[in-house]
Amino acid sequence: MSTIDAILPPATLGMLGGGQLGRFFVHAAHEMGYQVWVLDPDANSPAGRAADRHILAEYEDFAALDLMAETCAAVTTEFENVPAGTLDYLAKFIPVRPGAAAVSVCQNRIVEKTFLADNGLPHGAFRALRSVDDLNDLPDDLFPAILKVARFGYDGKGQVTVHDAAQALHAFNEFGGEACVLEKRLSLDCEVSVVLAREASGSVTVFPVAENRHRHGILDVSITPARVDDALAVQARQLAEHIATQLGYVGTLAVEFFISGGALYVNEMAPRPHNSGHATIDANVTDQYMQQVRALCGLPLGLPRAHSAAVMVNLLGDLWYRTGDERAHEPDWSVLHAVPNLRLHLYGKHHARAGRKMGHFTVVDTDVEAALVAALAARTAIGITDD
């Protein structure tokens, strides 16, 4: 789409999915002059509550999809498990970015790993497991490994560490015989991610590399710029851009990497904005959600340059239950607001539960180490422990 054909305000944009990533998209689109309709089956979805209209329906409700197609100028998504058929159906009527073909690669870990192998991208050893027979003759050097369900696993869910073929078989049966991938467990130096945006024309802008720490399988702290060798950072950005090109991707994309023995390995892709890209809201000229709006609407991508170093800390629902009481209690946000270079973002979710992402905060500074010290102090002050 040329700029002259771009979708301009006050057009209505469609969002499939009502979580916090969709909520930030709604905020970005509103700031840029657009209206947004959100389709999500949860009456209390954060994005739905922020949108101009919330269509309360399932993703395969064709009456709801027809309504979006009639009203919205273009549609995007905020999570990868929207059925590919839904994206294909809407694409018959209006632009859908990213498209079903690209999203479907990221929806299934077997397809995703096969894509990496077929395109010569660096990845850890793996086996696709579709039946018990696929567990025969597994090489010993594949273990220890992580068994992951091929679909719908996230934030550490649907995966388990196994140390031999017998444990892999037991775990496979525990997952109900669902298709899985068995991935060799790498000895990690650290984990990093790259968020980028790609236009329909093929133009790409890439954000600085983020360094990520996880706790119980969920992203805990994200540090930008990553404190890794410059050559590795350049390689990670180049690999992410190559992946976007090979996918024919349009929109905001995240690629997660392992660094093991000083080498990069692609872990997985997310066809949407990413948790580790939250810091771009506070530390970059253009954030990942504005880029998502721009790519969707055929506008030139914004400048992704960081004006500050940033450290993002996730706030999980566990914080609401620190007293041991079964009832949720609001954390003492005053301890965060007392930090002058910290911005708190709460997602407006209906109720807190353990492991649920309820918000995050970002500390910015001219120096990444200073930002990290302040962020970790604030993390401790609000009650996050390393247990």
CB-CB neighbours of 354 under 10 Å: 11
Helix count and strand count (H, E) for the chain: 12, 17
Q: What single letter denotes the amino acid at residue 11?
A: A
Question: Tokens 């990845």 correspond to what residue?
Answer: 123
Locus of tokens 């498990």: 81
Distance between CA atoms of residues 170 and 176, nearest Å? 10
Instruction: State the burial class of residue 29 (Cβ atoms within 10 Å of its Cβ: 0-12, 13-18, 19+).
Output: buried
Two structure tokens written together for 344 = 């708190």
Residue 240: which residues within 8 A CB-CB, separation 6 or more?
Answer: 194, 196, 206, 253, 255
Do 342 and 308 form a contact (C-beta atoms < 8 A)?
no
Binding residues for ATP: 109, 148, 153-159, 183-186, 191, 214, 267-268
CA dist., res. 271 & res. 340, Å (int): 34
Tokens representing 7? 């979708």
Half-sphere exposure of 313 (CA within 13 A, CB side): 24
DSSP string computed for 182-234:
EEEPP--SEEEEEEEEE-TTS-EEEPPPEEEEEETTEEEEEEES--S-HHHHH
Q: Which one, of 83, 91, 98, lies nearest residue 248 by Cα?
A: 98
Q: Which residue ranges make up the annotated binding site?
A: 109, 148, 153-159, 183-186, 191, 214, 267-268
Give me the count of residues in the chain.
387
